[in-house]
Every structure is written in C-alpha cells, then in structure tokens.
Structure 1
C-alpha cells in the first residue's frame, strides 16, 4: 500500500545576497516525504541541509521552486495561514531542548496546544499522557532545571508530537547528548512519530544515525543527490 504523500519540494533554490555576491545555499532540489517514513537528510556542515529544511518547513521562502504540504502550496498562504499550518501540522525538535524555564515540564509540552486555542486543562491532560509515553510521567511537575539533559530532550520530542502533526523535523536532536541518552531519544522520536502516523525527518551529519532511517536524502554544496530507500 502506498503511503500518503505529506510534503513535496520541487526544484527548490535559495539564494542569499552578500554585498555584491550571490550565494546559492540550495540549488534545484526535489524532495518527497510520505507518512510513516523516517527520513534522514544528511550533509556536512555548510552543505545546505538546514536551509533546505527551513524551506520545507515554511520557516523560509525559496528563491524559486515550490513547497506543498498536505496538498497546500505554501507560497499561496498568508503569513497568518502559514503560522497556523505550521502550528497544526509541523513539529520541531532542535539540538537544544529550548524548554521555557518558568514553565513545568508538562506546561512546556502543553504549550503548543494552548497556543493553538485548546483549553489549559485538556492540554495539560494530553501533555501528561504523552510524557508517560516517553517515560517522563514522574517528571511532569518538575522544572526544566530539575531534569537531566536527556530527559529535557525527551520532553522536547513530546512537545513536538503533542498535537499529532503530519511531519516532525529534528535538527541534530542528539548532538548535545551522550551516546546512551542520544540512542534513547532517537528511539523515542521514531516510536512516537510512528504512533502518530506522521513522517519523521532527522537532519544530521552522522552517518550512523542515517543508517537507522528508512530513506536517506544526501545534500552536498546545496544539491540533493537523490533519495535512497533502505531495503529497496
């Protein structure tokens, strides 16, 4: 059975002007990502992978080309519509957990739901549920300063997935963790995204991490060199 296409980037290019020089960070890239896929976008530092992901997630606008998320052309959306689409359908996990120090772990995880208009009580209930799924139910009422780095990053994964997004991007999500915690965060990320029926995208330069993906997209000097489906 063919999985539902979640996101497509077609002929994407992104240029930046620096003085009299034009720098092409991404050039003529094509990307397709479907539901239930675990995708690794791999490239060295400066290869253009973060720029590409910013385009795919609507955080940046391509100089040319189109991005379609759930059948909607992102270039046709207003700023407000784009913000709402990102909030409802896209999750983000960064290398740093970015938890808000003045909120408890459960309040941090509930925050996307509250910002989306859900009542605090039901948002907190859902936050506690998903924290239980990542093994942090006992940490729900702790402050971010009271949990370990691995626990904080697991909470960040929970926050990214709490709204059941269609796609979750993780940019070097284990880069600041030791090997054991990094492995657990990756396993939790993959499990949680799969349970949501979403697409999971990890941006990394770590080929060992890429080996765990279903699909590997390699980018070098701003150009993707194809889509490798593992086991195909």
Structure 2
C-alpha cells in the first residue's frame, strides 16, 4: 500500500496567552499528522482548546512554541504576506456560519477564491457552477444568499471552500447552526468532496455523531491531545 503524503504536521504545539501577570496555557504540547485524502476530526468540549489548535494549524494564529508544517513549509518562517498567499491557495475554510457575501450571488460567492487567486471571472464562474452542481445547488447559482435556506447556504460555503482544490480544508463546527437533516446533508457533501478531490479534511466539533465518519478522531481535553484513534 502506498503511503499517503502528510499534508499537515504539528509537533509539540503550545499556545499561551498573557494577561497582566497571568499566563494561561490554552494548548500543551499538541502533536498530530494529517495526510492527503484523510478525514480527521478534532473533538472536545467547549473551551477544551480545539478551536485554538485549529487556528494554529491553519496559520490564523501562531503557537508560542512547537512547529506547524504545511506542505513541508514551516509556518513560523513565513511572513504575513506569504502566509496569506498559502492560505488562499492551499487552505479552504468552512465555519459554523456560512459567511457568504450578501451582495454577491451564490455562484459569485463560490467563485470568489478563484478570482482572488487571479483566475478570469468567466472561468471562475464556470468552475463555481460545476462545484454547485456537486453539492446539488446548480439551480441556486444566480440567487442571492438571502434567497436560499440555511442548509443551502452552508452547502454553498462547502463548495466555496473546495473550489480552488486546496490541499486541506478546515471545518469548524460546520453543522452547528443547522437542523439534523441539513446537518447530515452538509456532512455527507463535505465527506464526498474531501474524498473526490484528494484533499485532507480537518473538522472541529463536539458532535460525536459528526466525528464518527472520520478516519482519525483526535480528542483534546484542557488543551492536551489525550487520544488519537485511527480506523483500521
């Protein structure tokens, strides 16, 4: 069996926050690997540090110590401009709220990462329509975010995260604001797109049902990785 390429590696990541004379350690020596085509769930209660870890892994925050390597690049060595470029090209994000731009149509929202990356608008819109078809929203392409349901908006957000074919897609509580039926739809679509694009998928959640479909489940308690369970 061919060994999968490691897309993201965190080693002994520690994050401390200082307030006056007080130092709060949000992360303690967290380590994990995420490989291409692999779906990893980071689970933990509210306040456990899982979102702080995701921010460090995605370059939105910098750890106090330890290393985070994305596609063999140590994030600590990158300038803000280099990190922004790497995020734009190689990282997709799906948040609890869809964060669609209300003044853009659904297809324009999905095309936005491609346009920001330098693709011509016509080509970006063609690619966006293909992605919307993948998530069952081709009939909503020309509508405004205010004209679609919450579940449809979140599916569009998943399409937007995947449209540029990034190396890794982060999803932070992507079904947290949805009802059970829409949450299941978004979960299935996210899994499918990770599998078909070969990207790595990393989901942050406290929902064990959502985590159950992952290849690897990483449990974090009080800022520490306490277990890593990998499916056989």
Query: TM-score under structure 1 normalisation?
Result: 0.98
Cross-structure match for 1:83:
84
Q: Which runs of no fewer than 5 residues in structure 2 stay unpaired?
A: none
What's 1:215 paired with?
Answer: 216
**Alpha-carbon distance, 1:193 to partner:** 1.3
**Aligned residue number for residue 120 of structure 1:** 121
1:139 aligned residue: 140
- String of CA shifts for 1:28-81, please: whole Å, max 9, x gaps: 010100011111000000000000000000000000001000001111111111
User: CA–CA distance in 1 between the matches of 2:97 and 2:52?
Assistant: 18
Residue 103 of structure 1 aligns to a residue whose secondary structure is coil
Partner SS for 1:160: helix
4+ residue stretches of structure 1 with deviation over 3 A?
Answer: none
Question: Which residues in structure 2 correspond to 1:28-43 (within 5 Å)?
Answer: 28-43=29-44
Q: CA deviation at 1:198?
A: 0.4
Give RMSD over aligned pairs: 0.7
Q: Deviations over 1:143-164 (max 9, x none)?
A: 0000000000000000000000
Aligned equivalents of 1:175 and 1:68: distance in 2? 29
1:166 and 1:8 map into 2 onto residues whose CA distance is 13
Give distance in 2, aligned partners of 1:7 and 1:225.
19
Work out whether 1:105 is the aligned partner of 2:93.
no
Distance in 1 (CA, whole Å) between partners of 2:181 and 2:114 is 30
